[in-house]
Every structure is written in C-alpha cells, then in structure tokens.
C-alpha cells in the first residue's frame, strides 16, 4: 500500500487544496503516514518546498532515501513544481496514472565540530555585527582570504535564489555544479579577494576558517545556527543523499526564469 504525507503553506488556498488532496488520495486507497511516506505532496511555493525537504529529513531520518516529493504551486510557477493550483486535476490524474519522471538533486552538506546539516538551495556564513575575516580553502588548498559580511555556497537549484541577489551566476538546469559567492566583501590596496562568483565541480570540498566566528551565524536554507566558539566550517555536496523530485510535465527552465524574473 502506497503511503503519503502532505505539507502545505499556511494560507487558505493551500490548506483547502491540501484537504482536497488528502481526501482524494484516501479514496484511491493511499494511506497517510507522516513518518514513513513514499510520497510527500507539497502545496504552496518554493519556500514551502524547501521547508518540506528539511522537515521530512528531520522527521523520517534514514527513510529519506525512499521519499519522493511532488508539488503544486499556489502562486506563480516555481522551480520545484510543474503545476499551479489551477492545474489541480491534471496534477492528480498524472500522479494516479503513474506517468511521472523522477529527477534527483544533490544536497549540500555542512560539517563543523558537533554539527552536520544539509541544504537544498544554499549554505551561507553571515556576520551582521562586524567584518568577518574568512580564509577559504578549496580541496585543502588555500584559495583566498576575504573580509566582509560573509560567503555563500549554492547548488544549481539555489543559484537563482539568494545567490542571484548577490550578483552570482544563474546556473541552467541539468548542470551539476556548486557556486561560491562572496557577500559584501571589502577591497582596497592592502587586501583583495577574487570578488567574482566561482562555479565549481560538485565533488569540490570548501573549508571556511576563521580565528573568530563570534557573532556569525550559519544558514542552511531557512535554518539558522550559531557559529560561536567554532573556527572551521566545511561545505561539500552530500554523497549519500539526494532529493527525489517527481515531474509530471516538461516546463522550460527559461520559461520559469521569465515567469519569476
């Protein structure tokens, strides 16, 4: 028996659509299981989708590798969904027919002393209180020292989010890269850094070291953690975990870009 759970954005349209989806799935013999779902129905926007990935990862643990995500957008068309709420009938009929394709996306993984977290969009270090000095190492080799408000590492999916607002490059769908982008970095005659975003192979390991991360926070998508007392953060692609996304129809990546931007 196939199992499912539903995660909705807390607004009237999304919640009503969630109740409708719940009833219809049960009428078709599916069983709701919030701890070991085969499919997670995400109803809302891209932010809801990212929240759902984190919530399910925390909730189900090792079962995550069995979970597929299937989303419908109750606003504009997003990067994680192929359907709007006006397409609900097609959305459900396609699911019941089994005519779905599965896409797999890498997660970023960050590790530090006593911490290990994941992100689908980006990992970033930010210090809102003072200039943060960070030594950047790529695959164990010292690359640069930057001075500014922080640094961001994103996936292809996340390249069009916070990364884009920092002047980072938008990476086309299907290109399996990660991107490193500086945040409000200071440059003058005494010290300089690359100042340009750099796109890296997915197997790249990036280390951020500092004598003092006091006041700095680590953000893994929407989740925020303190870096107080730490001196090193490592970011890489997760080797043993992917997000499995169900796709019901082909939507041009550039149509998505034009719709959103």
SS3 of residue 244 by DSSP: strand
Candidate list 46, 82, 221, 223, residue with the active-site label: 46
SS3 of residue 90 by DSSP: helix
- DSSP assignment letter at 196: S
Report strand pairing: 232-247 vs 101-112: antiparallel
Dihedral sign from CA coordinates of 200, 251, 81, 95: negative
- Known catalytic residue at 46: yes
The separation between CA 22 and the C-alpha centre of its own chain, rounded to angstroms, equals 26
Per DSSP, helices labelled H in the chain are 12-27, 46-60, 88-97, 162-165, 253-260
Residues marked as catalytic:
46
């Amino acid at each position: 028996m196939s199992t499912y759970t539903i995660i909705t954005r807390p607004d009237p349209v999304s919640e009503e659509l969630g109740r409708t989806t719940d009833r219809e799935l049960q009428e078709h013999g599916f069983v709701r299981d919030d701890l070991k779902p085969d499919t997670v129905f995400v109803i809302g926007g891209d932010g809801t989708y990212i929240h759902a990935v984190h919530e399910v990862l925390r909730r189900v643990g090792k079962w995550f590798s069995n979970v597929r995500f299937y989303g419908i957008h109750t606003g504009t068309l997003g990067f994680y969904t192929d359907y709007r709420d006006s397409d609900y009938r097609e959305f459900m009929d396609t699911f019941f027919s089994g005519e779905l394709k599965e896409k797999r996306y890498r997660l970023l993984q960050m590790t530090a002393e006593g911490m290990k977290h994941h992100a689908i969009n980006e990992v970033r270090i930010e210090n809102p209180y003072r200039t943060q000095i960070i030594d950047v190492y790529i695959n164990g080799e010292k690359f640069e020292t930057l001075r500014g408000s922080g640094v961001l590492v994103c996936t292809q999916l996340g390249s069009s989010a916070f990364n884009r607002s920092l002047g980072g490059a938008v990476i086309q769908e299907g290109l399996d890269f990660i991107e490193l982008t500086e945040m409000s970095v200071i440059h003058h005659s005494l010290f300089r850094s690359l100042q340009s975003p750099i796109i890296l192979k997915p197997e790249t390991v990036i280390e951020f070291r500092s004598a003092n991360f006091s006041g700095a926070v680590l953000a893994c998508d929407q989740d925020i953690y303190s870096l107080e007392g730490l001196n090193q953060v490592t970011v890489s692609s997760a080797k043993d975990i992917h997000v499995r996304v169900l796709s019901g129809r082909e939507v041009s990546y550039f149509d998505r870009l034009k719709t959103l931007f």
